[in-house]
Amino acid sequence: MKVKLASSYGFCFGVKRAIEIAEKYEDSATMGPLIHNQNEIDRLKTDYNVGLYNNLTDVKPNDTIIIRTHGIPKNDLKDLRKKDAKVINATCPFVTTPQQIVKKMSAENYSILIFGDQDHPEVKGVKSYGEDQDDVHVILTADELDNLNFKYDKIATVAQTTRKKEIYLEIVNKLILKNKEVRVFNTICDATFENQDAARELSKEVDVMVIIGGKNSSNTKQLHHICLENCQDSYLIENAKELDSSWFKDKNLCGITAGASTPDWIIQEVVNEIEKY
């Protein structure tokens, strides 16, 4: 089986930065999963003894705590800094940006609209920076705008960093038509654009697509969805163990892309396995 990699794939700047930070602070712990890739989290635990805390109550005196790439809610960060622990903030700078935008625009009496998944840790963190939580609204589609009541006639909108720009444009266009003043901030990450565009183009020319990344990763699921638009034989896996030889029967060319939290060593293992078919 021939294999072709997308022109852009895998680790983004924010994830690379977080991994480097975690490797620097051995015997530390992350507040929530550092990135959305269990295999890499397991490697950090094995090689650097980087543990995982899910609650502030887990924190013990003199602990070194690393804030995950997606960030944490404002009050959680505030409470964590009060504890007798060393806090290292590995929140991706592209995630910190919408946090600060929401804080600033909310203080200037703008209603806040976030395009994203309300259950995603990044969105929970961004939402927490709004002064009036009842006037911070989170949606995934333009249709949901019909059910919203904004406090002000001025709206500021940001997007989860890994969302599709086409849907954000739909939301923004509808928002502009219905409101007097709209401030639009494009907070979707450039690396997300590049990986999505590369996956889209590759999926048009191959017989089968394999997308490598965490099943709970928003950007990886987006890549899978994009590939399915052009190649129905598109499969999302976390590692080489999940490959199924039947996917490649009577196929000639396999395209591969990977989410922003997928390390090179996992990608190479998948490539090596597929080339055997």
Q: How far is CA 112 from the centre of its chain?
A: 20
Q: Are 8 and 223 in contact (CB under 8 A)?
A: no
DSSP string of 18-64? HHHHHHHSTT-EEES-SSS-HHHHHHHHHHH--EEE-SGGG--TT-E
The catalytic residue among 26, 108, 122, 170 is 122
In the chain, the amino acid numbered 20 is: E
Reported as type and span, the H/E element at residue 142 is: none
84 closest CA partner among 60, 119, 104: 60
Distance from C-alpha of 277 to C-alpha of 272, rounded to nearest angstrom: 10
Q: Which residues contact 114 (CB under 8 A, 6 or more apart)?
A: 98, 102, 123, 126, 127, 136, 137, 138, 139, 157, 158, 159, 160
144 classed as catalytic: no
Q: How far is CA 207 from the centre of its chain?
A: 27
Residues catalogued as catalytic: 122
